[in-house]
Structure 1
Amino acid sequence: MRFDPALPYLRLAWCLGFSTSLSPDCPHPLLDRDGEIEKWFGLSARELEEKGLPKAARRRLLDRNRGRDMALAMLRETERLGMGLLWPGHPDWPRELEEQADAPPVLWFLGTPSALDAALFTVVGTRHPSPYGIQAGTQFSEALALGGCHIVSGLARGIDSIGHRAALKNGSPTIAVLGSSLDQLYPPENKELARGILRAGGLLLSEFPPGQQAFKNSFPRRNRILAFLGRGVLVVEATLRSGTLITAEWAATRGKPVWAIPGPFGSPSSRGCHKLIREGAFLADHPAGLLQDLELEPQTPAFSREGLSDLDLQVLEQLRQGPTPPDALSTATRSEIQRVLASLEILKAKGLVRRLEGSLYARTRYS
Structure 2
Amino acid sequence: MREELLMFWLSLEGHIAKIKLDILEANFGSLAEAHSAISKGKYGQIKGIGEKQLEKLRFLSNMSEIEDKYANMVEKGIKYTHYFNKDYPDKLRNICSAPIGLFYKGNLPKNEEKIISVVGSRDATEKGLYYAGKLSEELSNYGVSVVSGMALGIDSSAHKGALKGEKGKTYAILGCGVDICYPANNIELYLSIIEKGGIISEFPIGTAPVRANFPQRNRIISGLSDGVFVVEAREKSGSLITADMGLEQGKNIYALPGRSEEPLSRGTNKLIQYGAKLVSDVNDILEDFDFPILNAKQECLQNLTLESNEKIVYSTLCLIPKHISEILSETGLDEGELFTILLRLEFKGYVRRTSFEYFVALPSYI
8 Å contact from structure 1 (residues 60, 67) kept in 2 = no
1:119 maps to amino acid: K
| Partner SS state of residue 230, structure 1 | coil
Question: Shift in Å at residue 279 of structure 1?
Answer: 2.4
Which of the pair has the greater relative contact order for Cα pairs under 8 Å at 6+ separation? 1
d(CA) in 2 for partners of 1:65 and 1:130? Answer: 44
Aligned counterpart for 1:123 among listed residues 112, 118, 126: 118
SS, match of residue 49 in structure 1: coil
Shift of 1:65: 7.6
Contact 1:74–1:209 under 8 Å retained in 2: no
Does residue 30 in structure 1 map to residue 20 in structure 2?
yes
Letter in 1 for 2:20: L
Q: Counterparts in 2 of 1:1-367, with a 5 A limit?
A: 5-14=3-12, 17-18=13-14, 30=20, 37-38=31-32, 40-41=34-35, 49-61=45-57, 63=58, 66-113=61-108, 117-171=112-166, 172-200=168-196, 202-296=197-291
Unpaired segments ≥5 residues, structure 2: 301-362
* Aligned position for 1:352: none
SS in 2 for 1:156: coil
Normalised by the length of structure 2, the TM-score is 0.71
1:341 corresponding residue in structure 2:
none
Compared CA separation, residues 240 and 69, structure 1 to 2 (3 A): farther
CA deviations on 1:19-44 (whole Å, 9 max, x unpaired) are x5x9xxxx896265578544643678
Aligned to 1:328: none
Map Cα deviations across residues 193-237 of structure 1 (whole Å, 9 max, x no partner).
12112233x111111112112111111111111010001110000
Instruction: Note closer, same or farther for the CA distance 1:38–1:255 as it changes in structure 2 (3 Å cut).
Output: farther
Structure 1 Cα separation of the partners of residues 165 and 101 of structure 2: 31
- Structure 1 110/279 Cα, relative in aligned 2: closer, same or farther at 3 Å? same
For 2:224, give the aligned amino acid.
L
Q: 1:266 to 1:175 in 2, by over 3 A?
A: same
Identity of aligned residues (%): 30
SS of corresponding position for 1:273: helix
Shift of 1:295: 4.1
What is the one-letter code of the residue matched to 2:128?
A: G
CA distance in 2, matches of 1:277, 1:32: 37
Deviations 1:47-68 (A, max 9, x none): 863523211123345x388353
Q: 1:42 to 1:276 in 2, by over 3 A?
A: farther
Q: 1:114 to 1:282 in 2, by over 3 A?
A: closer
Gaps of 5+ in 1: 303-364
Change (3 A) 1:31 1:100: farther
CA contact 2:9–2:60 (8 Å) conserved in 1: no
Amino acid of the structure 2 residue aligned with 1:41: H
Give the counterpart letter for 1:182 in structure 2: V
CA drift at 1:127: 1.0
Provide the secondary structure at the position in 2 that maps to 1:107.
strand
Deviation at 1:170, TM superposition (A): 1.2
Q: Which amino acid aligns with 1:235?
A: V
- Cα shift readout 1:315-349 (whole Å, capped 9, x = no counterpart): xxxxxxxxxxxxxxxxxxxxxxxxxxxxxxxxxxx
- Does the residue aligned with 1:113 lie in a helix, a strand or coil? coil
Q: Counterpart amino acid of 2:155?
A: D
The alpha-carbon distance between structure 1 residues 259 and 114, as it changes in their structure 2 partners (threshold 3 A), is: closer
Specify whether residues 65 and 185 from structure 1 end up closer, same or farther in structure 2 by C-alpha distance, changes over 3 A only. Answer: closer
The DSSP-based 3-state class of the residue aligned with 1:179 is coil
CA shift for structure 1 position 175: 1.0
| Comparing 292-301 and 47-56, the one that deviates more | 292-301
Structure 1: distance between partners of 2:46 and 2:129:
50
